[in-house]
C-alpha cells in the first residue's frame, strides 16, 4: 500500500509540474500570438478566434467524450488521472491571470513549443494525458486498424495547422507547424531522457577478441548469442552490447580495428534498464 501511495504521489508531482509548464507555454506564448500548434487545444484556439468561446472550456468539452469512449481500453486509474489533468489544464488556461508581453512570433513559437512539450511529456511520465490528438488517433486506429496511430496524429494536427491558415493567416500556420514539431521533439526527449542508448549486434569470426576489448576498454557487458549463417550453414556468434550515446563511436572503432570485415547492426534503444543504465524505479 505504501508503495502504491508513493507511486501516486510521484505521478501527481509529475502531472502538477507538467500542467504548470504547459499552461505557461499556451497562455504566455501560443494563444496570444495565434499559434494553433495542433491538438484539441489548437482546435479550441480556432473556435475562440471565430466565436469567442474560452479556449480551455472548448478543449475540455472536446476531450470529455474521448475519455468516456477510451475508458475500457486505458483503465480507470489512467482515465481518472487524465480527466483531472485535462480539467486542470483547461481551468489554468481560462482562469489563471497570465499576460504575455512577447509579440515576437518566432520567439513565441520556440518557447511555446518548448514549454508545452516539456509539460505534456511530464504529464505522460505521471501516467496521464491531457487528451487531444493522440487519444483521438488511438480511437480511430481501433475503428480502422489499417490507420496507424502516428498517421492519425499527423492527420489531426495537420488539419488543425492547415485550418489556422484560414482563421489567422498562412504565416501563423507555418509557425504553428514549427511549434508542433518542437513540442513533439521535446515530449520524446522528456520521456526518453538525455541518456538514450544504442544496441549493437556484432557478427564476426573474431568475436572473442572484440568482446574482451569491450569488457576491458569500455567496461560494458557483452552477451554472446548462438547463431548460424543460413547461406553457409556455419555456426556464428552474435554479440549483443548496449552502450551510451557517447560510447557508440569508441565501440565501432574497437569492432573494426579488430575485424574490418565484421558485420554490424546498430539500433537506438528507447529504454535500457540494468547495471550502468536506468534502474526500474527511475
**Which string of DSSP letters, residue by residue, matches 30-97?**
ITTTT---SHHHHHHHHHHHHH---HHHHHHHHHHHHHHHHHHHH-HHHHHHHHHHHHHHHHHHHHS-
Residue 57 has a pLDDT of 95
Model confidence at 246: pLDDT above 80: no
Residue 195 has a pLDDT of 61
Q: In what order do the strands lie in the sheet with 263-269?
A: 223-228, 235-244, 197-203, 263-269
Give the least confident one: 95-109, 138-152, 247-261.
138-152
Every domain range in the chain assigned CATH 3.30.70.120: 197-269
Model confidence at 172: pLDDT above 60: yes
Residue 3 has a pLDDT of 64
Local confidence band at 162 (pLDDT 50, 70, 90 cut-offs): very high
DSSP class of 216:
I
Mean pLDDT, rounded, for 209-215: 93
Residue 206 has a pLDDT of 92
Assign domain 197-269 to its CATH architecture: 2-Layer Sandwich (3.30)
Return the bridge partners of 243, or none.
198
Cβ contact 92:16 at 8 Å: no
Local confidence band at 193 (pLDDT 50, 70, 90 cut-offs): low
Element (H, E) at 225: strand 223-228
Local confidence band at 48 (pLDDT 50, 70, 90 cut-offs): very high
Residue 278 has a pLDDT of 66
Whole-angstrom distance, CA of residue 215 vs CA of residue 270: 23
Per-range mean pLDDT, top range of 14-18, 150-154, 214-218, 225-229: 14-18
Model confidence at 200: pLDDT above 90: yes
Residue 280 has a pLDDT of 65
Mean pLDDT, rounded, for 165-183: 93
Amino acid at each position: 500500500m505504501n508503495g502504491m501511495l508513493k507511486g501516486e504521489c510521484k505521478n501527481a508531482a509529475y502531472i502538477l509540474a507538467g500542467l504548470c509548464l504547459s499552461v505557461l507555454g499556451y497562455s504566455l506564448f501560443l494563444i496570444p500570438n495565434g499559434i494553433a500548434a495542433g491538438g484539441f487545444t489548437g482546435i479550441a484556439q480556432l473556435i475562440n478566434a471565430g466565436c469567442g468561446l474560452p479556449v480551455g472550456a472548448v478543449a475540455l468539452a472536446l476531450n470529455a467524450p474521448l475519455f468516456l469512449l477510451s475508458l475500457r481500453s486505458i483503465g480507470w486509474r489512467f482515465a481518472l488521472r487524465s480527466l483531472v489533468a485535462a480539467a486542470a489544464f483547461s481551468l489554468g488556461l481560462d482562469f489563471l491571470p497570465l499576460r504575455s508581453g512577447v509579440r515576437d512570433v518566432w520567439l513565441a513559437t520556440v518557447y511555446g513549443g518548448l514549454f508545452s512539450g516539456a509539460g505534456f511529456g511530464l504529464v505522460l511520465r505521471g501516467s496521464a494525458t491531457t487528451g487531444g490528438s493522440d487519444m483521438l488517433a488511438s480511437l480511430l486506429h481501433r475503428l480502422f486498424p489499417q490507420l496507424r496511430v502516428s498517421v492519425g496524429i499527423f492527420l489531426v494536427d495537420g488539419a488543425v495547422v492547415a485550418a489556422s491558415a484560414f482563421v489567422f493567416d498562412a504565416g501563423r500556420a507555418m509557425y504553428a507547424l514549427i511549434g508542433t514539431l518542437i513540442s513533439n521533439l521535446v515530449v520524446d526527449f522528456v520521456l526518453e531522457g538525455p541518456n538514450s542508448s544504442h544496441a549493437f549486434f556484432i557478427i564476426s569470426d573474431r568475436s572473442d577478441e572484440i568482446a574482451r576489448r569491450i569488457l576491458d576498454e569500455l567496461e560494458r557487458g557483452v552477451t554472446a548469442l548462438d547463431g548460424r549463417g543460413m547461406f553457409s550453414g556455419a555456426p556464428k556468434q552474435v554479440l549483443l552490447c548496449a552502450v551510451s550515446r557517447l560510447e557508440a563511436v569508441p565501440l565501432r572503432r574497437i569492432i573494426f580495428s579488430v575485424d574490418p570485415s565484421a558485420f554490424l547492426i546498430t539500433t537506438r534503444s528507447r529504454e535500457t534498464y540494468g547495471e550502468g543504465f536506468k534502474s526500474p524505479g527511475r
